């Protein structure tokens, strides 16, 4: 983690989670400019402008801490799962990542998850989808997850990357397709091997291709 200290706001950046979506550089180039060192100058704009720009970072690589008494980032009121065309899952809201054994991994409000199966930083995207030429039009297949019990309609979205298998997601969410289609629920399995014929949902293809999550 790298820290960039400003008078009124501090910026943190995780290079490991950054996939160069360029939301920061395109929105506020005075502060975020990869052609210089340091590439982040927190005092080159107002704290409000810096904070607003960082909240558009889809991966959670950028975060901020206000030093001027300004408001912290608040999770989106709806937990959303959206897909880049031929790219990762972008998740926003109140998000908790856990291991299959229930061990806490991460709590965040923004993250980008690998769904091509090739990331070297699983469960997060590292742009490997570009190297393996991952293809998906971003439209929603049919969710075939069986709901075994009623889960809360409000609260955090728990993401559990299973060993050599899909993402198990528990908690209220909306899955949004590129065409504006929305699937709402509180239990779903999402493909992360990259080979499901029912993307973004899992169809057990990982069992037949020997997908390895490590």
Tell me, yes or no, if the pTM score tops 0.85: yes
* pLDDT band at residue 208 using 50, 70 and 90 as cut-offs: very high
The CA-based angle 41-84-59, given to 5 degrees, is 35
Would you state the torsion angle of the CA atoms of residues 40, 42, 48, 54, taken in this order, to the nearest 10 degrees?
Answer: 20
Domain boundaries, the chain: 2-66, 80-209
Express each pLDDT in 88-120 by its tens digit: 999 999 999 999 999 999 999 999 999 999 999
User: Which CATH code is given to the segment(s) 2-66?
Assistant: 3.30.70.20
The torsion of the CA quartet 16, 211, 166, 121, rounded to 10 degrees, works out to 0
């Amino acid at each position: 983690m790298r820290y960039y200290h400003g008078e009124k706001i501090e910026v943190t950046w995780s290079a490991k989670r950054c996939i160069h979506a360029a939301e920061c550089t395109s929105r506020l180039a005075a502060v975020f400019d990869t052609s210089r060192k340091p590439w982040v100058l927190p005092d080159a704009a107002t704290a409000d402008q810096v904070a607003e720009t960082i909240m558009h970072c889809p991966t959670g690589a950028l975060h901020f801490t206000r030093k001027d008494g300004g408001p912290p980032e608040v999770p989106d009121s709806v937990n959303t799962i959206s897909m880049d065309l031929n790219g990762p899952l972008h998740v926003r809201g109140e998000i908790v990542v856990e291991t299959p054994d229930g061990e806490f991994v991460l709590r965040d409000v923004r993250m980008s998850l690998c769904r091509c199966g090739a990331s070297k930083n699983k469960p997060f995207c590292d742009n490997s989808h570009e190297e393996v030429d991952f293809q998906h039009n971003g439209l929603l297949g049919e969710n075939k997850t069986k709901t075994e019990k009623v889960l809360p309609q409000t609260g955090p979205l728990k993401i559990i990357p299973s060993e050599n298998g899909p993402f198990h997601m528990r908690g209220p969410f909306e899955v949004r397709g590129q065409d504006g289609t929305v699937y709402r629920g509180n239990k779903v399995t999402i493909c992360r091997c990259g080979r499901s014929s029912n993307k973004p949902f899992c169809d057990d293809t990982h069992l037949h291709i020997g997908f390895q999550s490590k």
